[in-house]
Amino acid sequence: MKTKLSKSFFVGMLIVLPIFVAFAVIGIGRYSLTMSQSLEVLYKGLFIGKDAVDAQSYSVVINMRLPRILMAIVCGGGLAVAGAALQAMFSNPLVSPDTLGVGSGASFGAALALLFGHDLLAMQVSALIFGIMAVSCTYAIGKIKGGGTSIIMLVLSGMVVSALFQAFVSLIKYVADTENQLPAITYWLMGPLTSSTFRSLALGAPPILVSALILFLIRWKINVLSLTEDEAKSMGINVSYIRIVIILTTTMIVASSVSMCGQIGWIGLLIPHVCRMIFGSNNRQVIPASISFGMVFMLIIDTIARAATSAEIPISILTAVIGAPCFIILLKKTGGSWR
């Protein structure tokens, strides 16, 4: 009975926490509203009609902040669960979603679309294509004799592929028009959520949601990755298949996230580690906790970004300012090892 209550409390907390934080922060900004006022605008604006609320409140809450908050929830939860899955696969808490080079590849694809002046749909498709291309290169380079893959080879090849696509991004910046294209590309790569719209969410959120759901459903199988190949086979688990699923789903998450709001680092590195410190190493708890905490962390960071100063601070700057000191502490504490 106690176990069931504890499990119910755990699930309820993870569901309620992001919702509560989202409602709490939606009224924060240069146009300030109380939580009750924000909820009133949300209810009347979504279910009665925009004529039922003040025009300015409707514009700020429904048109500007709501899609932005939904974007933060989707991308924050997605990046965190991608990091948790990859850390479990590599058996190393210092791994992040950028390890396989997918972030750099997706950034290059989106920057390329911006260079040629394509619309949002083309940018998201380009980011996804080059993200998949980057991880395919990583997987191909990481293959060893006999057709298998080595974790160390995947990490090393991911570093090489990531560096290569970062160089391509620099090349795009070099050839871009300094008056119009370069500022837009540079600012977008820093991860702003200012351009969040319901249309961009409709295009980019489904791959993240589906991939996160897959990782959630196979979270108990991810625990098996810590065992040897023979032990996993004795349990009827195909380790190679699980690794491929993790690589594909995390690629979809990172590429879609990059296509919507640029390259945002540290979330996939820090949040899963914090969850393991709180809930232990069992991915049955770590995976859902990472989704929830990633949402909350992204919501808080985005709120600080848009409310701290009159000129908005890009998300990646704030995550780096917070993430770098935490990463140093993490290195000192773990020495780069899993346990």
Cβ atoms of 102 and 254 within 8 Å: the answer is yes
CATH numbers and ranges of domains, the chain = 2-334 (1.10.3470.10)
Bridge partner residues of 149 (DSSP): 143
Q: What is the average pLDDT across 291-318? A: 86
Predicted confidence (pLDDT) per residue in 36-63, tens digit:
888 888 888 888 877 778 888 888 888 8
pLDDT-derived band at 336 (thresholds 50, 70, 90) equals low
Q: What share of the chain is helix, strand, coil (3-state, %, to 5)?
A: 75, 0, 20
Distances (CA, A) of 238 to 142, 145, 155: 19, 20, 21
Predicted confidence (pLDDT) per residue in 185-207, tens digit:
888 787 777 778 888 888 889 99
Question: What's the pTM?
Answer: 0.88
| Residues in Cβ contact with 206 at an 8 Å cutoff, skipping those fewer than 6 apart | none
143: helix, coil or strand?
strand
Cβ atoms of 83 and 96 within 8 Å: the answer is yes
- Please give the angle made by the CA atoms of 119, 121 and 122, to the nearest 5 degrees: 70
How crowded is the C-beta side of 249, counted as CA atoms within 13 Å? 27
Q: Which of 11-15, 85-89, 143-147, 209-213 has the lowest mean pLDDT?
A: 143-147
CA Rg value for the chain:
20
